[in-house]
Amino acid sequence: MAERVGFFTDSSVCIGCKACEVACKEWNGVPDDGFVFRATSYDNTGGLGADTWRHVAFIEQDGRWLMSSDVCKHCTNAACLDVCPTGALFRTEFDTVVVQPDICNGCGYCVPACPFGVIERRERDGRAWKCTMCYDRLRGGLEPACAKACPTDSIQFGPLDELRERAAARLERLHADGVDEARLYGDDPGDGVGGAGAFFLLLDEPETYGLPPAPVVTTRDLPQMWWWAGGAAVALVGAVAACFAGSRR
């Protein structure tokens, strides 16, 4: 198996140009997301979804204009992949999480399972779509389209371990420069999703960017849920037995 690869998106050097959004669409043939003026700063695509696999958020604050390119996190413990009943979602040799469009039957279960609100069903097509980290490109030894296009290297692609080291160094540098609000997001293998394959350097709380502050993969609690369901099933059988007890004909 190949080394695990990922994205490190350093929002402190993002210039909000959206090259990532376009390069992604050109490579992956993703349809446009509609022409809607949203009046939310320079963001007119809203968020990640079936038709937007890279999305640049724009946040206007006093004196600051934050921009950050969001993407599927390719979680170590990926809920979408866990709950997919068809095996359309699978983990690749690069430890990324990919939907196989020839398999997906559009059950839609992955959609509410994702703690980041990334994957979505394209209604006119009936299947779920999200970032593949350009799986086909990776198989040819190429870097993903978004990372390649990114003019300022805000989106960095590479072996995940290496990216984590780079990110830690960058964070240290920013803190040394007095940018105290800089923080990494999704880099910790001990977090609720086992660490993200695509992690970020942010300049404010995650929720400011529309990201969940402490997401947990829902299937972490699944064994417990099955036990409770087992209890409920037993209770059901017991209740039925009770109903018939003493009424034997």
Binding residues for [4Fe-4S] cluster: 14, 17, 20, 24, 72, 75, 80, 84, 104, 107, 110, 114, 131, 134, 146, 150
Residues 204-243 that bind other proteins (CB under 8 A): 204-205, 207-216, 218-219, 221-222, 224-226, 228-237, 239-243
Report the alpha-carbon distance of residue 88 to residue 92 in Å, rounded: 12
Residues 95-114 that bind other proteins (CB under 8 A): 98, 100, 102-109, 111-114
Transcribe 120-134 into DSSP letters: EEETTTTEEE----S
Q: Of 142 and 162, which has the nearer Cβ to other proteins?
A: 142
Residues 157-176 that bind other proteins (CB under 8 A): none
Report the alpha-carbon distance of residue 27 to residue 123 in Å, rounded: 21
Name the one range near other proteins by CB under 8 A: 60-68, 158-166, 178-186, 194-202.
60-68
State the minimum distance, in angstroms, from the CB of residue 164 to other proteins. 19
Binder to other proteins among 5, 57, 71, 182 (CB under 8 A)?
57
Transcribe 116-169 into DSSP letters: TS--EEETTTTEEE----SHHHHHTTPPPHHHHH-TTS-EEEEEHHHHHHHHHH
State the minimum distance, in angstroms, from the CB of residue 165 to other proteins. 17
